[in-house]
Structure 1
Amino acid sequence: MRRSINNSGLIASVNPESPISEVYRLLRTNIHYSSIDQALKTIMVTSSQAGEGKTTTISNLAITYAQEGRNVLLIDMDMRKPSLHRIFSQPNHHGLSTVLTGQTSVQDAIHETMINQLSLLPSGPVPVNPSDLIDSIAMREMLDQLIHQYDIILMDTPPVLAVTDSVIASTLCDGVIMVVAAGKVKKVHLKKAKEQLDHVNARMLGVVLNRINRDDQPDFYMNYYGMKG
């Protein structure tokens, strides 16, 4: 069932011709060219800590992929503090948690959104063991199934330094994007988050520097930087 979207944060849908929407499309392009030899079908977006804009970033990125004509699935893997169902005005009675615990089929848990070709798998009710569910055979089997049904799967995960969920999830993805709020995150925290991802050999695609001072960046509110080493 499609429901209306009434969220000003979805700028790529509300105002696709805006400069900010163009930056999200630039991010999409940079992700594509970060791996020419291997198609990136599962991409995780995270941050080092809460409040850096990762959910807004992944939501708008998903919209730009759908606008490109790709069949997109957005998964809310933040089963501790879910928010994507509210952003896209969808119910959350069933979702990832109920799929992984065998209460719901994945087909019944996925919702179409008002964005053509963009579907959402919400988090579902908050479980007692989110990290165990992510690190389960059921999770891997579900992704193996969905990869054949969608052109690209985008996963919104909790902050890396808050819980282990994101580090576990990174082992299931083709690539990881880290959202960093300019002027908010200390370098030591960002370094620690990257070290945790490196420890499990996560493939870092880059860093989105969010909330740049508009006086310094009059044309771009978000930039994309490659992250190496």
Structure 2
Amino acid sequence: MFNTILENFHIEKIYATIKKNLVYIFVAGILFALVAGVIGSRFAYRTYTTDVSFYVYSNPDNVTDSGVNQSTGEISQANKLITSYIQVLKSSVFLTAVADEIQLQGYSAEKLQRMISFRNITDTAIFIVYVSDSNPNNALTVANAISDLAPSIIPSIVKAGGFRVFDGAELPTDPSSSIGTTQIIIIGFVLGFFIALLFFFFKGLLDTTIRRVYEVEDIFRIPVIGKVPEKDVDKNTENKYENIVLKDDSSFSHKEAYNNIRSNLMWSREEKKCPVYVVTSADNSEGKSVNAYNIAKSFSMIGKKVLLIDADMRNSKLREFAPNKDKKGLADYLSGSVSKAPVVKVNNAFDAIYASEGFKDRTELLSTKKWYELIDKMKEEYDEIVIDMTSLRLFSEALSLTKSDAYYIVVVREGVTKFVRTKLVVQRLEELNADIIGIIYNGISPKSKDYVFRNYKEK
């Protein structure tokens, strides 16, 4: 998972993921805010704090003499007494006395202990008692009770020093701390917003669906030899693949996509009498079959004698692109059912050997000597051979030509292909030293920034 995140980490992808899900992120924030508003009304509070300051004397005779200034040594001794005084003020004996004094319902010694806090002023003989409560009047009442009871209770327990109140409690008018329903709603919104943001952030980094060309270029050391624009299947026509198969009257952008692929194939290969191209992909529905067909058609458009072999015995598509009534095909020949390879002309453009209708899943035939002999024989008769093979992630038939001089073409499809799966396919091919000539980026959105003809308008 960590490697996936690293490979997938790109500022553009993060930005695009957040932008795509921004509405959901805001909705999550609003929902959290609503829940926080309902629940938070119970937790909204205001706390008021008042305080009483005491001055401690090491010599009890000085308590009533306001003109006496304590020496440094006396202040140090007084500081030691403060700890003892605070312990008395925190004791259940003293707090019970305060509770009895104030006579406020619900104000027990335990509650008073939670309300009261202390602070010793460093290097002085002063300590402060703080009283906090949601009711400012009750806070003042408790503070005054402490002021009144401390002078009689503390000396009865601590038989040393003395003290006096030099700054009495006042009624607090402003809360010392508070959180209102509005603040809780805002916190709820921010919390929901960031939880949703993090969710989509990691969801995006863990989503290995290919969506931009740079992702393919960053992950693989294989050139992208062509970008084929997305074309919708037209279910209203007799042949629903009419829009996606290459024809003489296809749109400029469609023909140009395969012109680029054809040119890159011709420039990338070695000089051979008849190059063999094996077209495969990681999974079904990525467009390998239609790309195999269109590559064959593109070569035929420049006068090349081309043979297309439909070797995908598990999921053959050629009959859907170019219907053929004859059910005999490749498996019939390889199995010996027919003596001659059933080569037929497709749309007066190129020759093809269809997959057999009656020999489904006879993939072991692609490992026979007769299969390799067929290819060698056809190489003597044609300028180009294109083979539509099975998807390689789950099935291994496409590996049958790795030891030959065939070129492999891997097809990926925008919004469909998972790059982790394609990585497995490429690794399998590379382990067998297959010659991977390039990747076709299929189904690119005509509006994509990666598509060179996005601003071109068909005439």
Alpha-carbon separation, structure 1, partners of 2:250 and 2:430: 35
Range with bigger deviation, 64-73 or 35-44 = 35-44
Offset from partner CA, 1:99-156 (integer Å, 9 cap, x none) = 000111334x11112233x011001135365332111101011111111111111000
1:101 to 335, 339, 345: 335
Q: Residue type of the partner of 1:161?
A: R
Partner residue, 1:166: 398
Partner residue, 2:382: 150
CA distance 1:150–1:195, change in 2 (3 Å) = same
Q: Does 1:205 align with 2:437?
A: yes
Q: Does 1:22 align with 2:256?
A: yes
Q: Residue type of the partner of 2:299?
A: Y
Q: Does 1:50 align with 2:50?
A: no
SS of equivalent to 1:123 = coil
Partner residue, 2:127: none
1:115 to 320, 325, 348: 348
Cα-Cα RMSD: 2.1
Alpha-carbon separation, structure 1, partners of 2:347 and 2:437: 29
Q: Give me the TM-score of the superposition, normalised by structure 1.
A: 0.85
Tell me which of the two structures has the higher relative contact order, counting C-alpha pairs closer than 8 angstroms and 6 or more residues apart: 1
Q: Residue type of the partner of 1:167?
A: L
Q: Does 1:8 align with 2:242?
A: yes
Q: Is the 8 A contact 2:245 2:290 kept in 1?
A: no
Q: Which runs of 5+ in 1 are unaligned?
A: 222-229
Deviation at 1:8, TM superposition (A): 1.0
Alpha-carbon separation, structure 1, partners of 2:358 and 2:282: 21
Alpha-carbon separation, structure 2, partners of 1:40 and 1:52: 27
2:420 to 188, 205, 211: 188
Q: Residue type of the partner of 1:12?
A: L
Q: Is the 8 A contact 2:273 2:379 kept in 1?
A: no
Partner residue, 2:119: none
Alpha-carbon separation, structure 2, partners of 1:15 and 1:190: 33
Partner residue, 1:63: 297
Alpha-carbon separation, structure 2, partners of 1:92 and 1:207: 33
Q: What fraction of aligned residue pairs are identical, expressed as a percent?
A: 23
CA distance 1:206–1:126, change in 2 (3 Å) = farther
SS of equivalent to 2:440 = strand
Q: Is the 8 A contact 1:46 1:54 kept in 2?
A: yes
Q: Which runs of 5+ in 2 are unaligned?
A: 1-237, 455-459
Offset from partner CA, 1:145-184 (integer Å, 9 cap, x none) = 1111111110001110121111224434520100001232
Partner residue, 2:106: none
Alpha-carbon separation, structure 2, partners of 1:106 and 1:186: 40
Alpha-carbon separation, structure 1, partners of 2:270 and 2:410: 20
Q: Give me the TM-score of the superposition, normalised by structure 2.
A: 0.44
Q: Residue type of the partner of 2:347?
A: M
Q: Is the 8 A contact 1:41 1:151 kept in 2?
A: yes
CA distance 1:9–1:57, change in 2 (3 Å) = farther
Larger Rg: 2
Alpha-carbon separation, structure 2, partners of 1:167 and 1:88: 26
